[in-house]
Amino acid sequence: MDFPRLQFMIFAAALLIAQLLLLDRNTVTSQALIFATAVCLFWQLWWILPFTCLWRKEVQTSSDNSADKQLSILTSNVLTPNRNADALIDLVNLHQPDVLVTLESDQWWEDKLKVIETDMPYNVKCPLDNLYGMHVYSRLPLEEQEICYLVEQDIPSIHVCLTLRTGDKVRAHFLHPAPPSPTENAESAERDAELVMVAKSVAKSNQPVIVAGDLNDVAWSATTRLFRKISGLLDPRVGRGSFNTFHVDFPIARWPLDHLFHSSHFTLHDIQRLPSIDSDHFPLLTRLSFTSPQGSKQQGIKAEPEEEEWSEEIIDGQQVSKNDVPTPAE
């Protein structure tokens, strides 16, 4: 029920307005109904408000326009049956990202994307037909490349050391854990374990870190907040907007499922949701600036002791460990 908080908030706001206009506010019953609706509205608003321009920005806006310090990452869940590769290639040619991450990409997509390898010669390829294929293409050198199956044997993640134009090394993790499902994965235990084990792995790192991908979780959920608290990584959407990427076809049921988190070594140049490529997800383009130590004053949210215990229970439940996560650039 973390997913529809925005929809609950809109419904509660509309209901509260109707109650104020139509109910007799002098009766105890009406007052109780209005109070209950207002509590529901403010409870949902508490979760959603950080992802609006009314909240303080968690990540500073970059004041350094040096091209050597820029890092742009375009993430796109292409939807395996989608055959409009030209739309994605056009976006790559237009925006010239340093790194392209594709999710749900199979061998057909790999073949079609060969045309971008002239400009993006560094790559890691994991084509699969099970909706969990993944590819990374880069203009910047990629080292210590690993494809891992951290929790489930058919769901990969990609881990690399990315070398910036300044020569600085960035530890990057690209994820696409399985989504929650009412019939198959009601508690999303595997997804949560993958997020938590990566969070614990990067938490003590002094290296610049980026974690990106389709996490199949909304930005304001309890588990995404737990990931941010345990990892210490920052969310550039906080104070700027939710940048809802899924579902393309249903504006009334659209959520921020595609994410990019980063360490305090970076500040934000800009973040934008790109036009549809006929997938069920919009692509997401994030441009960062490597501005350490300028960004070192940035702080995310902190974990409470009970949240640390909860994170341990999550990974213990799947019998996994943070030591299973590769540590490129360390």
Buried b (16+ CB within 10 A) or exposed e, 234-253: bbbbbbbbbbbbbbbeeeee
Superfamily of domain 67-324: Endonuclease/exonuclease/phosphatase (3.60.10.10)
Query: CA–CA separation, 59 vs 45, rounded Å?
Result: 21
Q: What is the SS3 assignment for 94?
A: helix
Rounded average pLDDT over 99-104: 98
Rounded average pLDDT over 218-227: 95
Is pLDDT above 60 for 86? Answer: yes
Query: CA–CA separation, 157 vs 135, rounded Å?
Result: 10
Can you read off the two tokens belonging to residue 66?
Answer: 């040096």
Is pLDDT above 80 for 83? Answer: yes
Query: CA–CA separation, 255 vs 2, rounded Å?
Result: 10
Residue 207's closest CA among 164, 165, 146?
Answer: 164
Residue 252 neighbours by CB under 8 Å, 6+ apart: 7
Rounded average pLDDT over 233-237: 97
* Whether the model pTM is above 0.85: yes
Rounded average pLDDT over 1-10: 88
Buried b (16+ CB within 10 A) or exposed e, 153-188: eebbbbbbbbbbbeebbbbbbbbbbbbbeeeeeeeb
Is pLDDT above 60 for 183? Answer: no
Query: CA–CA separation, 26 vs 20, rounded Å?
Result: 11
pLDDT, tens digit, 9 for 90 and up, residues 245-266: 999 999 988 999 999 999 999 9
Displacement of CA 69 from its chain's centroid (Å): 22
Is pLDDT above 70 for 185? Answer: no
What integer pLDDT is reported at residue 296 of this predicted model?
Answer: 66
Per domain, the residue ranges of the chain are: 5-51, 67-324
- Distance spanning both ends of the chain, measured CA to CA: 38
What integer pLDDT is reported at residue 235 of this predicted model?
Answer: 98
Is pLDDT above 90 for 1? Answer: no
pLDDT, tens digit, 9 for 90 and up, residues 204-220: 899 999 999 999 999 99
